[in-house]
Amino acid sequence: MDARTLSTRMADGREILWFDGPGRPPRDPAELVDRRDLPAVTPASQLRYDALAGEWVTIAAHRQDRTYQPPADQCPLCPSRDGRLTEIPSPEYEVVAFENRFPSFGSAPGTPSPAVDPDTPLAAAGRCEVVCFTDDHATPFSRLPPERVRLVLEAWAERTAALAARPGVRYVFPFENRGAEIGVTLAHPHGQIYAYPYLPPFPQRMLAHVAAHREATGENLFDATLAAERAGERVVVAGEHWTAFVPQAARWPVEVHLYPNRPTPDLPALDEAQRAEFPVVYLDLLRRLDALYDDALPYVAGWNQAPVREADGRADARLHLRVHSIRRAPGKIKYLAGSESGAGAFISDVLPEAVAERLRGL
C-alpha cells in the first residue's frame, strides 16, 4: 500500500503525523496550522522500582487532569470544524498519530536501571502517542472499511519502527481500549502507542519462558503454540496468513489471540501478503466479538512484538495481537477481585472451547 506520511507540529510543539492512502491528494502543511493557544507540555512522570516484585511502576499524577468523557460535540479527537479547534487542525483526516498531551512517558531519553539507585525516582523517559483511526466519531474499528484498517496497520508499523529507533526505548506497544467498562476517557475511535524505557513485566516473563523452552527443546514456544492451536478446536478465524484462536488457558471471559502464520518478529517485518490479509481477518474477528452478546463488546487489543534490543530476547519473539474483554455475560463484568488482584492468580468462569465454538458459529 502506497501510504503517505506527513509530520507537522501542534501549537504546544507536539508532533502530529498524518497518514493518507493513495487515493487522497497530498496535504499542504500550510493548511495544517494549530491555532490554539496552548502551554508547552512539561513531562512530570516518574519511574519507581518495586524491588520485591522486580518491576518498574510509573507515577503520572498529571494525568488526573486529562479530559474525561466529554460530550460528542466537545470531542478533542474530532476534526477542527465550524470554528471549534481540536487536537487535529484540519476539517478532515484519515489516520493521525500525535504525542499525547497527558503522557505516561515522555521525558529526556534514558534507560532506567535499578542497579543505579533503586530507591531514587527516575524521570520516565519514552513516548506516548494517540492514534485516531477515523475522523468519524461514531464509527468503531469493527465498522471501518478494509482499506482504512490497512492504513491503520501501516501507521502502527511506521510508528513502531520510528519509536524503536529513539534513544532509550526498549519496547513498543500499540493498543486499543474500547468501551466505557474498560475505562476509556474518550469515546472517539482511537488507540495509543507506548514506547517504554524498560521491558514491561508481561513480555519480559513471556520471553523468559520462551528462552527456557528453546534451551530445553530447541524449538520456539510461540511457533509450537500456534501450530498446536491451528490443529485444535479453539480456532475462530483461519486465513492463509493469519490465525485467530482462543488460547487454552484464557484468563479473560473473552480472549482471542491473532498470529501471523509465518514467524514474524514485529509489525515492520510484515510482508505484503500479511498486510493485505490482516484487514479481512481482523474485521471478521471484531464483528464476531460484537455479535457475541449482540452489543458492542468492550475490549483491550494489544500488539505483543519483539523488544528493541537483542539482549531482551528479540530473536525469540513473535508478533501477535491479544484481544480480551471483561464482559463475561450480557450485562455482567468480570472484576479482578481477591485472587487476581491480590495473588495474581486468574480464575476464569468461562470454558475457552465454548467461547471459540460460539464465535465460530456467529
**Which residues carry out catalysis?**
190
| Spatial strand order in the sheet of 46-50 | 55-59, 46-50, 122-123
Helices (H), 141-234: 146-164, 201-217, 221-230
φ, ψ (nearest 5 deg) of residue 139: -105, 110
Distance CA(299)–CA(295), nearest Å, equals 12
Q: 132 a known binding residue? A: no
The DSSP output letter for 142 is G
C-beta atoms surrounding 121 within 10 Å: 14
Q: 324 a known binding residue? A: no
Distance CA(348)–CA(291), nearest Å, equals 21
Q: 137 a known binding residue? A: yes
The DSSP output letter for 62 is G
Distance CA(234)–CA(238), nearest Å, equals 11
Contacts of 51 (CB under 8 A, 6+ apart): 114, 118
Task: Look at residues 16, 344, 311 and name the one whose alpha carbon lies nearest to residue 171.
Answer: 311
Task: Look at residues 61, 66, 56 and name the one whose alpha carbon lies nearest to residue 44.
Answer: 61
Is the backbone of residue 118 left (phi > 0), alpha (psi -120 to 50) or beta? Answer: alpha
φ, ψ (nearest 5 deg) of residue 29: -55, -30
Task: Look at residues 122, 78, 126 and name the one whose alpha carbon lies nearest to residue 100.
Answer: 126
Grid cell for residue 13 = 510543539
Binding residues: 75, 78, 137, 188
